[in-house]
Amino acid sequence: MLVAFNKPYGVLCQFTDRSVPPRPTLAGFGLPAGIYPAGRLDHDSEGLLLLSDEGGLIHRIADPRHKLPKTYWVQVEGDPDEAALEALRAGPVLRDGPTRPPGVRRLDPPPALWPRDPPVRHRKTVPDAWLEIVLREGRNRQVRRMTAAVGLPTLRLVRVAIGPWNVHGLQPGSWRAVS
C-alpha cells in the first residue's frame, strides 16, 4: 500500500512524540495502520509525504541513490535576480559540501496554495517571491540552507511532488491511496 499525505505545517513525520508538551504527529490523521514514512519533511515544512507498508518501496522512494526528483515550492524573502537564481542552479556549497545542481525556476504568478496556519509573517517593506526547486538528493533542511546560502531566506516550504506522485487535490491533513 502507498499513501500520499498532505502534511500540515507543525506536524512531525512520526507517529509518536515523547516531548513535553507533545507535538502533533501523524497519528492524529487517521492514516492506515502499519504504514511508515518514505523519507521525512521537517515539522515547519508542508506538503507531500509518502507512506507505505512495503520496506523495499520505502527504500526506493527515500534513498537518494535512486534519484527520484523531489519538487518544492518555496516562498523566499527578497526579490531574486538572475545571479541569485544561477547561484542556486549551480548547486551552492554548504557546510557539509557542495550540493547537486537543482532545477530552479521562478513561479510568477505565485502558486495557488491553501492558507498556512499560522500564516507567514508579511512585511510591507520586504518583497518575497516563489521559486520551484527540484532536488535529486535529500540532506537535512537542504532547501532552506541552499536558499539562505544565496541570500534568500525561506519563509514557506511546500513539497508538491516526489517522482510521479503529487499533492494536488489534497488539503492539509488529508490523504489518499495511490498506485
Q: Which of 27, 7, 29 is nearest to 17 (CA)?
A: 27
pLDDT of residue 164: 96
Stated length of the chain: 179
Question: In sequence order, what are the beta bridge partners of 104?
Answer: 133
- Indicate the burial class of 122 (C-beta count within 10 angstroms; 0-12, 13-18, 19 or more): exposed
Q: Which of 57, 153, 133 is nearest to 91 (CA)?
A: 133
pLDDT of residue 64: 79
Which are the catalytic amino acids? 42
CATH class of the 1-66+166-179 domain in this structure = alpha beta
Q: What is the CATH number of domain 69-162?
A: 3.30.70.1560
Q: How many CB atoms lie within 10 A of CB 160?
A: 19
pLDDT of residue 3: 98
Three cell numbers written together for 90: 549551480
Distance in angstroms (rounded) separating the CA atoms of residues 89 and 16: 37
pLDDT of residue 122: 80
Per-residue pLDDT of the chain (179 residues; tens, 9 = 90+): 999 999 999 999 999 999 889 899 999 999 999 999 999 999 999 999 999 999 999 999 988 788 799 999 999 999 999 999 999 999 999 999 999 999 999 999 999 999 998 889 888 888 999 999 999 988 889 999 999 999 999 999 999 999 999 999 999 999 999 98
